[in-house]
């Protein structure tokens, strides 16, 4: 049975309120902005967001009131600095308070790896002596039972997303998907997540994917939905398809300094823009074409 469906159906079926959702696991590339915007349009609430160095999609979800908790190494605007909505939520509770569980990029990878292995935690020496274990209950200071001197050790609690959303270059209707570019903590996340939503630039025959199995990014049996979604990672880059839209990040940074500015941006780019096709029309053909990269050979 084909797993291909519309984005609205995938979000409605597989991301209920209260879900733990992993996004942006490839670092600053291939961030599933289109899927995040549909989460906002469907007014999801009480989500926990999981990611490494998460970019402005987290900020948008927080500003839209979708988020209760963030487990991440860093949240901000990669090229401009601050994530204004996250800062307002943490410091002022606007539009709602958000709990932050700080990790390093390495420890968020360990947390996902532990879940993928079915282990309750992974011990490590990283972060010992830092303030992160004092603030994050998922980083537990303990002693090494194999060391007679009671050597200190840190236990990184397993973190299992309910859903991982991945944007990839191409996929088939069965859930096989090719991705190339920086992986970040994606390998750990695909093993940890209960299910995966794939959004893809292209839908191609199964044979195209299986003849190059080293690019297959996730076990197909864990993929719950496949969505054909050209441009689904803009303004982040997708290797071999389009470059990073640096100006978009700068514009977002300038416009979202105030609550009113963010709300106007959200209406323009998300709430009054019903799908990715409308989004790309708003972006403009000339701007979109200027970002295009050389396409890979099949």
Query: How far is it, in rounded angstroms, from Cα 225 to Cα 242?
Result: 24
Q: What is the DSSP letter of 184?
A: T
Split at pLDDT 50, 70, 90, the class of 298 is low
Query: Looking at residue 78, what is its pLDDT?
Result: 84
State pLDDT tens for residues 92-136: 999 999 999 999 999 999 999 999 999 999 999 989 889 999 999
Query: How far is it, in rounded angstroms, from Cα 213 to Cα 178?
Result: 8
Rg, C-alpha atoms of the chain = 19
Q: What is the DSSP letter of 216?
A: B
State pLDDT tens for residues 190-202: 999 999 999 999 9
Query: Looking at residue 65, what is its pLDDT?
Result: 98
State pLDDT tens for residues 45-61: 999 999 998 789 999 99
Q: Give all domains of the chain, ordered by start, each with its CATH number.
A: 7-103+160-290 (3.40.1080.10), 121-157 (no CATH)
Contact 188, 166 (CB under 8 A): no
Q: Does residue 296 register a pLDDT over 70?
A: no
Query: Looking at residue 145, what is its pLDDT?
Result: 83
Q: Does residue 147 register a pLDDT over 90?
A: no
Q: How far, rounded to the nearest angstrom, does the alpha carbon of residue 161 sit from its chain's CA centroid? A: 11
CA torsion sign for 28, 56, 4, 200 is negative
Mean pLDDT of 244-249: 96
Q: Does residue 297 register a pLDDT over 80?
A: no
Residues above pLDDT 70, as percent of the chain? 99
Mean pLDDT of 80-94: 94
Q: Does residue 2 register a pLDDT over 70?
A: yes
Q: Which one, of 209, 252, 198, 220, lies nearest residue 63 by Cα?
A: 252
3-state secondary structure 235-298: CCCECCCECCCHHHHHHHHHHCCCHHHHHHHHHHHHHCCCCHHHHHHHHCHHHHHHCECCCCCC
Residue 163 bridge partners (DSSP): 21, 195
Mean pLDDT of 138-157: 89
The helix or strand, by DSSP H or E, that contains position 88, with its residue range, turns out to be: helix 84-92
Query: How far is it, in rounded angstroms, from Cα 53 to Cα 103?
Result: 10
Q: Does residue 181 register a pLDDT over 80?
A: yes
Mean pLDDT of 262-284: 98
Q: Which residue has the higher pLDDT, 261 or 79?
A: 261
The Cα angle at residue 74 between residues 64 and 169, in degrees rounded to 5: 75
Q: Which residue has the higher pLDDT, 296 or 235?
A: 235
Cα–Cα distance list, 262 to 73, 116, 175, 284 (Å) = 24, 37, 36, 21
What mean pLDDT, rounded, does the chain reach? 95
Range with lowest mean pLDDT among 1-5, 99-103, 142-146, 218-222: 142-146
pTM over 0.85: yes
Query: How far is it, in rounded angstroms, from Cα 88 to Cα 65?
Result: 12
């Amino acid at each position: 049975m084909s797993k291909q469906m519309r984005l609205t159906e995938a979000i409605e079926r597989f991301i209920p309120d209260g879900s733990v959702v992993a996004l942006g696991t490839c670092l600053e590339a291939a961030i599933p902005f289109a899927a995040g915007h549909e989460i906002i349009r469907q007014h999801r609430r009480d989500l926990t967001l999981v990611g490494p160095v998460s970019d402005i999609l987290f900020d948008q979800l927080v500003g839209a009131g979708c988020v209760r908790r963030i487990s991440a190494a860093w949240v901000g605007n990669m090229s401009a600095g601050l994530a204004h909505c996250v800062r307002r939520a943490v410091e002022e509770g606007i539009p709602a308070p958000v709990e932050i569980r700080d990790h390093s990029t390495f420890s968020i990878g360990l947390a996902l790896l532990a879940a993928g292995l079915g282990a309750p935690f992974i011990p490590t020496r990283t972060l010992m002596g830092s303030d992160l274990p004092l603030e994050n209950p998922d980083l537990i200071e303990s002693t090494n039972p194999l060391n007679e001197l009671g050597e200190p050790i840190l236990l990184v609690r397993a973190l299992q997303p309910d859903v991982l959303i991945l944007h990839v270059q191409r996929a088939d209707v069965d859930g096989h998907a090719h991705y190339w570019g920086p992986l970040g903590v994606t390998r750990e996340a695909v093993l940890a997540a209960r299910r995966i939503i794939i959004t893809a630039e292209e839908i191609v025959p199964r044979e195209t994917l299986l003849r190059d199995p080293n690019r297959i990014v996730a076990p197909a049996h864990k993929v719950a939905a496949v969505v054909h979604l050209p441009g689904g990672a803009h303004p982040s880059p997708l290797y071999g398809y389009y470059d990073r839209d640096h100006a978009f990040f700068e514009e977002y940074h300038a416009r979202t300094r105030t609550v009113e500015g963010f709300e106007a941006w959200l209406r323009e780019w998300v709430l009054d823009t019903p799908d990715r096709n409308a989004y790309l029309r708003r972006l403009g053909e000339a701007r979109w074409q200027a970002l295009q990269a050389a396409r890979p050979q099949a």
